[in-house]
Amino acid sequence: MNLRAFTAMGLVALVGLSATGCVAKSSAEAGKFPSKDVHLSVPWGAGGGGDLNARTLAPILEEILGVSVIVENRPGASGSVGMEWLADQNPDGHTIGFVGAELASLQHIGYEVKPESLAAVAQVVSVQAAIAVPTDSEFKTLADLVSAAKAAPGSVSYSNPGPGSIFEATGNGFQQEAGITLSSVPFDGSAPAVTAAVGGQVDVVIDNLANIDPKVKSGALRYLAVFADERLPALPDVPTAKEAGVDLVNASWNGVAAPKSTSDEVLKTLSDAFKKAVNDPRFIEHAKKTNQEVAYKDAQSLAGYVDEQAELYRSWLTKK
C-alpha cells in the first residue's frame, strides 16, 4: 500500500509539473508579438495612392516582423467604413490599418470616426494636394478658373474622394480663400474622382500628387497648381496656388493605426517596424516615383499631429 501510495503521489507530482510547464509555455507564446499573420486594412479602393503604399510596404514589413502581412481593402464613405471597422477589431496588434487625414476631418460632418477612436502607430508619407484639369480644358491657369467661378458662381465643378475627405475640405478652403463658389462632386475614393476629371465629367479634380500624377504623365490631365509653400523640385514648372493669389497650403498623408486598447508594447513594436520599412530603399524609390515624401512620425507625434489637423479641417468644413 505504501509503495502504491508513493507511486501515485509521484505520478500526480509529475502530471502537475508537466501542466505547469505547459501553462508557462503557453503564456510565453501568448506574449510573443507578432505570433500570427498581420492584417493591414486599407480604407480606400484598390489602385489609389494609399492602396499602393500599403502593398509596397507589406512585403518589407513581412521581412521585419517575420510573419505574413495581408492587405485588405475596406473602402467606403471617405474612409470611414474601414476606420470604423478597424476600431472594432481585437486590440492584439494583428489587425491594423492605414488611415489618412480623414481621421481628423470626418468628425466635422457627423461621422463617428474621431482621432480618439483609434491608437496611432506611425505616419509613413506626406503628399501635397494639387488641382488639375483635362488637357483640353479652357482653364490654362488657376487664375482662369477663379475668374470663371467669380463670373458664374457654381458653374465650375470639382471632383474629390468623398464628403468629409480632406480634398473636399481643401476645395472648401480654396473657395473661402479665393472668394468663389464651386460645385463639389464627391466620389467614393480618389481613383474614381480622378477618372471623372479625365472623362470630362467634372471641370477639375482636387486630390494629391500621387493620385493625379500618373494621369498627368499619360497626357490625360494637366496641373493648374499645387497647394504648397513653394514650387516642388520634382515639378518645377507647376506653379503654387499662392502665385495666383490663393494663399492655401495643404497635404494629405498616410499613417497607420490600431484598435484603441492595443498595448503600448505592441504599438512600439509596430511603430519601430514601420520606421524601418519606410526607410527601406524599395519604399523610398516608390515614394519618389509617386511624388510623395517619406515622412515618418512615431505614435505620439502622429497623435499630436492629428489633433492639430482636426482644428484646421474644422474651419474648412464647418465655416459657412
Cα(244)–Cα(260) distance, integer angstroms: 43
Cα–Cα nearest to 212, from 159, 256, 248: 159
pLDDT at 190: 87
Confidence of residue 4 (pLDDT cuts 50, 70, 90): very low
Average pLDDT over residues 194-198: 97
Average pLDDT over residues 73-94: 94
pLDDT at 164: 79
pLDDT at 315: 85
Amino acid letter, 255: G
Average pLDDT over residues 207-236: 95
pLDDT of 173 > 70? The answer is yes
Confidence of residue 301 (pLDDT cuts 50, 70, 90): very high
- The reply to whether 38-126+252-318 and 128-244 are identical in fold is yes
Confidence of residue 20 (pLDDT cuts 50, 70, 90): very low
pTM for this prediction: 0.79
pLDDT at 22: 40
Of 6-10, 20-24, 306-310, give the range with the top mean pLDDT: 306-310
How many alpha carbons lie under 13 Å from residue 109 in its C-beta half-sphere?
20
Q: Give the burial class of 105: count Cβ atoms within 10 A of its Cβ; 0-12 exposed, 13-18 middle, 19 or more buried.
A: buried
Residue for cell digits 510573419? Answer: 67
DSSP 115-126: GGGEEEEEEEEE
245 or 6, higher pLDDT: 245
Average pLDDT over residues 171-177: 95
Confidence of residue 175 (pLDDT cuts 50, 70, 90): very high
pLDDT at 150: 97
Confidence of residue 31 (pLDDT cuts 50, 70, 90): low
pLDDT at 239: 98
> Contact 134/160 with Cβ under 8 angstroms?
no
Instruction: List the chain domain ranges.
Output: 38-126+252-318, 128-244
Architecture of domain 128-244: 3-Layer(aba) Sandwich (3.40)
Query: What's the pLDDT tens digit per position in 59-70?
Result: 999 999 999 999
DSSP 137-172: -S--SHHHHHHHHHHSTT-SEEEESSTT-HHHHHHH
Cα–Cα nearest to 158, from 181, 191, 124: 181
* Dihedrals phi, psi of 80, to nearest 5 degrees: -65, -35
Average pLDDT over residues 210-224: 95
pLDDT of 18 > 50? The answer is no
pLDDT at 312: 85
Cα(95)–Cα(312) distance, integer angstroms: 30
**How large a percentage of the chain has pLDDT more than 70?**
90
pLDDT of 35 > 60? The answer is yes
Q: The CATH number of 38-126+252-318 is which of 2.20.28.120, 3.30.710.10, 3.30.590.20, 3.40.190.150?
A: 3.40.190.150
Radius of gyration of the chain (CA): 25
How many alpha carbons lie under 13 Å from residue 259 in its C-beta half-sphere?
15
Residue 269 CB partners (closer than 8 Å, separation 6+): 33, 34, 93
> Contact 204/224 with Cβ under 8 angstroms?
yes
Q: What is the mean pLDDT of the chain?
A: 89
